[in-house]
Amino acid sequence: MKAGASEARPAMRRKRSGNSRALLAAAALAGFCLPAQAAIIGTCTIMIGASGTMKSNPAINIFGSKQAGGSSAGATITANSTLCSILNLLDCYSVSAAAPAAFTSAPSGGDTNVTFASVFRLDGSGLDNPGSSPQKLTNGTHTIQVDLTATKSSGIFPAGSYQAEVTVRCE
C-alpha cells in the first residue's frame, strides 16, 4: 500500500503544478486586459464663465434665456487625453448639459406645473443640441453656450426671483 500511495502523490503534484501554470497564465491575461477597461486616461476640465439670464415671454408662462432680453450661460471645456492623442481618436470625451428638475429657488407656486428644457452649442456653432444628448469632443479647448427654458403648463409664473442650474458634464 505504501507504494501505491507514494505513486499517487507525484501525480497529484503534477496536477497541481499544471493548475498553477493555468492560473498564472489566466492572471497574466487578466492583467493585460485591465487597462482596456479604462481606455480614456486624461482630464476634462470645465471652467464656468458667464451666468445666463432668463426672461419671461409676454404671457408670463415661459422663462427662458432665449426670450427677448435673455442671455446664454457660458463655459470653457478643455479635454486632454494622452491615449486619444497617441491613437489620433476623435471622440474620447462627450459633453452634455442636462436641464434641472426644478428651480434652485423660486417664490411660492413658482415650481408648480413647470417643465424644463436645455440646449447647448459648442464652439460657436448655431446648432442647438438637446441638453441631455452627449456630444463628442476632440482634445483641446472648446466653448459651450447653454440655454434653459422653463414652461408653466397652466397659469403664470408668480412674481419674484427665480434661479436654476444646468449641470454641464464632460465624461
Quick one: three-class SS letters along 118-170? EEEEECCCCCCEECCCCEEECCEEEEEEEEEEEEECCCCCCCCCCECCCEEEE
* Same domain assignment for residues 59 and 141: yes
**What confidence tens digit (pLDDT) does each residue in 125-150 have?**
999 999 999 998 888 999 999 999 99
Range of the domain at 127: 41-170
Same domain for 63 and 33: no
Q: Does residue 13 share a domain with residue 45? A: no
92 and 123 housed in the same domain = yes
**What total number of domains does the chain contain?**
2
- pLDDT tens sequence across 27-43: 443 444 444 444 447 88
- Which CATH number does the domain housing residue 129 bear? 2.60.40
3-class SS of residue 9: helix
126 plus 55 within the same structural domain: yes
Residues 138 and 114 in one domain: yes
Q: Does residue 90 sit in the same domain as residue 15?
A: no
pLDDT the model gives residue 37: 44
At 119, is the pLDDT very low, low, confident or very high (cuts 50, 70, 90)? very high
Same domain, 1 and 67: no
Residue 90 sits in the same domain as residue 147: yes
Q: Over the stretch 148-161, which tens digit does the pLDDT of each residue have?
A: 999 999 999 999 99
Single pTM value for the model: 0.73
Tell me, letter by letter, the H, E, C secondary structure of 86-124. HHCCCCCEEEEEECCCCCCECCCCCCCCEEEEEEEEECC
Residue 73 to residues 116, 119, 121, 143, Cα–Cα distance (Å): 15, 11, 11, 11
